[in-house]
Amino acid sequence: METTLKFIEENKERFLEELKDYLRIPSISAKEENKKDMLKCAQFVVSKLKDAGIKKTKIYKTKLHPIVYGEWLGAKGAPTVLIYGHYDVQPPEPLGLWKTPPFEPDIRDGKIYARGANDNKGQNFVHIKSIESQMKTLGKLPVNVKFIIEGEEEVGSESLTEFIKEHKAMLKCDAVLISDTSLYAEGVPTINYGLRGLTYMEVEVQGPNRDLHSGSFGGAIANPINELAKMIAKLHDKNGKVTIPNFYKDVVKISKKEKENIKALKFSDKKFAKEYGVRELQGEKGYSTLERLWVRPTLDCNGIYGGYTGEGAKTVLPAKATAKISMRLVPNQDPQKIAKEFTKYVKAIAPKSVKVNVKQMHGGHPIAFSLDDKAIQAGANAVGKAFDKKTVFTREGGSIPIVVDFKNVLKAPVVLMGLGLDTDDIHSPNEHFNVDSFFKGIYSSVYFMTEFAKAK
Ligand code: BES
Ligand code: MN
């Protein structure tokens, strides 16, 4: 162990330089024009796995983006850890708001800035460097290790969903280890034990058969933007509850113990509001902010468009308006059932003067884990050691849909060892990752393997 820790200490600069190389590849899964970069990035990951001593690697071609697999199974009788991450990133737009270009990593104030710095290249590279540090100092690992680094997380993980079912035997493991979530606060070791699910819908409202003059027709023919806005307003009541029938029907009430755990985190509403530049918070009546974010389902408009949005003014009564609406789900809500209820309700509240078309986009199931699992306990001990503080347990408002497949198909516990911060601006301009968290993550990963080897 000592030699491994010393190796990490001595190689910090090089690890950071290599992370920069990873971040320079514009692996944007949503864009056709970056298809070649996706393969290049998968090859980069393979080369780093090989450098780390993972001799057996393979790039699996899929319908969309390649999946990287790697394994080292030299720890006879020891448990097997499957490490999951994603090498794809979100589109970087709007480009004008980046202080330095998204694919030219820059270190300022102890943070590394680039698209993917946190989500998820910085966080998955931690585990590759942990393996390298152990292999180069000890020639072996305390556990068997398998790697799955995919390229479609940001677009729904469709290929990996199939892949897990098809390669169930190859992926067999005793625990899945994922760093793709957040620390509770800077420097606070955290294990996440829940993720919200997602149902994402598109609502298209069609008015007249063509754009019309808003003077000659306004007041007589329904305006699809007006009608869509009214419909969206009807999706919440005055207490912040979602009005869709049966929306809360399957929601599991949290236990007293969990309520107390959340309360003990002493979340500051004031600090939170200030950080994001709002005067006041809002949400479902009767719940605290963390409860609203972690254990209650929500509905949000993610985008709305229609009519004239260009420069100056144009008087027009548009033919069409569209909204993209997401619902974050909690156990035991079912994304398909919620999509059906949403569609039925939106159609029911639509006036006869417009036609409404509702489409379902990608989604995912919510999940929550028991804290009693040995793997989760080993994770908590490991981060506690690396950050030298008491570990806290949190849930996440965000989603990683593939986690449910790991749990259901592989029947393995999942350790969410989040290392990012909610203030890291993921999916937004100037995404960044604390350099210190990157290194503490490497130590956490090393400690986890030692702890988990003892746990079996
Ligand atoms: N790393 C995030 C999940 C996440 C978000 C963790 C916020 C912690 C805080 C992941 O890459 C992500 O963005 N997931 C998407 C899933 C969607 C594309 C199906 C999400 O939550 O919107
Ligand atoms: Mn993401």
Closest ligand by atom to 192 CA: 1
In a domain? residue 341: yes
Residues 8 and 109 in one domain: yes
401 in contact with ligand 1, CB cutoff 6 A = yes
In a domain? residue 211: yes
Residue found under tokens 């979340």: 267
In a domain? residue 144: yes
Note if the pTM is more than 0.85: yes
Identify the residue whose C-alpha is closest to ligand 1 atom 19: 156
C-alpha of residue 328 to centroid of ligand 2, in Å: 15
195 in contact with ligand 1, CB cutoff 6 A = no
Residues 207 and 246 in one domain: yes
Q: What domain count does the chain have?
A: 2
Residues 42 and 102 in one domain: yes
Residues 203 and 347 in one domain: yes
Residues 396 and 331 in one domain: no
Closest ligand by atom to 152 CA: 1
In a domain? residue 259: no
Residues 357 and 377 in one domain: no
Residues 80 and 160 in one domain: yes
Going by C-alpha positions, the residue among 56, 298, 79 that lies closest to residue 175 is: 79
Residues 351 and 377 in one domain: no
In a domain? residue 272: no
Closest ligand by atom to 421 CA: 1
88 in contact with ligand 1, CB cutoff 6 A = no
CATH of the domain at 330: 3.30.70.360
3-state secondary structure 407-427: HHHHCCCEEECCCECCCCCCC
Nearest ligand 1 atom, CA 420 = 8
In a domain? residue 286: no
Residues 336 and 413 in one domain: no
CATH of the domain at 375: 3.40.630.10
Residues 35 and 183 in one domain: yes
Identify the residue whose C-alpha is closest to ligand 1 atom 5: 398
**pLDDT per residue of the chain (456 residues) written in tens, 0 to 9:** 999 999 999 999 999 999 999 999 999 999 999 999 999 999 999 999 999 999 999 999 999 999 999 999 999 999 999 999 999 999 999 999 999 999 999 999 999 999 999 999 999 999 999 999 999 999 999 999 999 999 999 999 999 999 999 999 999 999 999 999 999 999 999 999 999 999 999 999 999 999 999 999 999 999 999 999 999 999 999 999 999 999 999 999 999 999 999 999 999 999 999 999 999 999 999 999 999 999 999 999 999 999 999 999 999 999 999 999 999 999 999 999 999 999 999 999 999 999 999 999 989 999 999 999 999 999 999 999 999 999 999 999 999 999 999 999 999 999 999 999 999 999 999 999 999 999 999 999 999 999 999 986
179 in contact with ligand 1, CB cutoff 6 A = no
Residue 79: HSE in the Cβ half-sphere, 13 Å Cα cutoff:
22
Residues 56 and 80 in one domain: yes
260 Cβ contact list (under 8 Å, min separation 6): none
Spatial separation of the C-alpha atoms in residues 157 and 150, rounded to whole Å: 8
366 in contact with ligand 1, CB cutoff 6 A = no
Q: Which domain holds residue 393?
A: 2-195+367-455
Tell me: cis bond preceding 94? Omega within 30 of 0 counts: yes
Could you say which of 364, 385, 401 is where a domain stops? 364
In a domain? residue 446: yes
Residues 65 and 103 in one domain: yes
